[in-house]
Amino acid sequence: MSRTLKLTLAYDGSRFVGWQRQADGESVQAFVEEALSRLEGGPVAVHAAGRTDAGVHAEGQVASARVTFTHDAATVVRAANAILPAEIRVLAVEDAPPGFHARFSARGKSYRYQIANTPVASPFLRGYAWHVPEPLDLDAMRAAAAALVGTHDFAAFQSTGSDVSATIRTVTRSDVLARGGLVVYEVEGDGFLRHMVRAIVGTLVDVGRGWRPPGDVRGLLEGGTRAQAGATAPAHGLTLVKVEY
């Protein structure tokens, strides 16, 4: 008799090609599937709430898998973590309803992006924050970020190569925070397009540098193109924080 597991995962994405299996390189998905397959004694397919890109981290990624083994949750957590590399941890396991799917059942996600905004960045932030040495106008960035809240067409913030045709999304929170030498962007919404958060961050940094006015963001939401928005911020500053169901 099969059961559906809901797994909450954390990982340092630095060494991986992303969540999804690739022809070349190590993926988070491959390692998690291998760990569960060893417990199952046969192949196990694992689906994540979000396909994080190469270099992107997660504190609260959620994955689902159908298995037949009967190990309790604590045993699965302990056994999987004994198999997985240290960069990937299973934080929790629970039985989910049969129709549960980590991606399609999700109602919202939250992300955090970190910017090291000091002349010299700490080497301990090298893999977890984008170093922007020049001063940033945080008030201007906050004004631009606030314009993103609501239901909008985020096509200008979607990278090419996506198979998603509908680009309307609802953002419920969009905040720029100062934490010591870090500028932190936190965003929550019902879903995100390919590279959407990183494109938003690139645009907000343009605003902070004085390269564009805060009002540009509203124009981008009203029919702007990807070429008109800011550059895609580096992957290593981004973390998937939480998935809501």
Domains and CATH numbers, the chain: 3-96 (3.30.70.580), 108-244 (3.30.70.660)
Q: Looking at this protein, which amino acid is placed at residue 88?
A: I
pLDDT tens digit sequence for 55-112:
999 999 999 999 999 999 999 999 999 999 999 999 999 999 989 999 999 999 999 9
**CA 44 to chain CA centroid, nearest Å:** 23
Q: Which residues are catalytic?
A: 53
Q: What is the pTM of this model?
A: 0.95
Query: Which H/E stretch holds residue 9?
Result: strand 3-11
pLDDT at 154 exceeding the cut of 90: yes
Determine the Cα–Cα distance for residues 179 and 16; give it in Å rounded to an integer.
Answer: 28
pLDDT at 113 exceeding the cut of 90: yes
Determine the Cα–Cα distance for residues 196 and 179; give it in Å rounded to an integer.
Answer: 23
Handedness of CA 159, 165, 168, 174 (dihedral sign): negative
C-alpha dihedral (207, 200, 240, 123), degrees to nearest 10:
-40
- In this structure, are strands 88-96 and 3-11 parallel, antiparallel, or unpaired? antiparallel
pLDDT at 164: 77
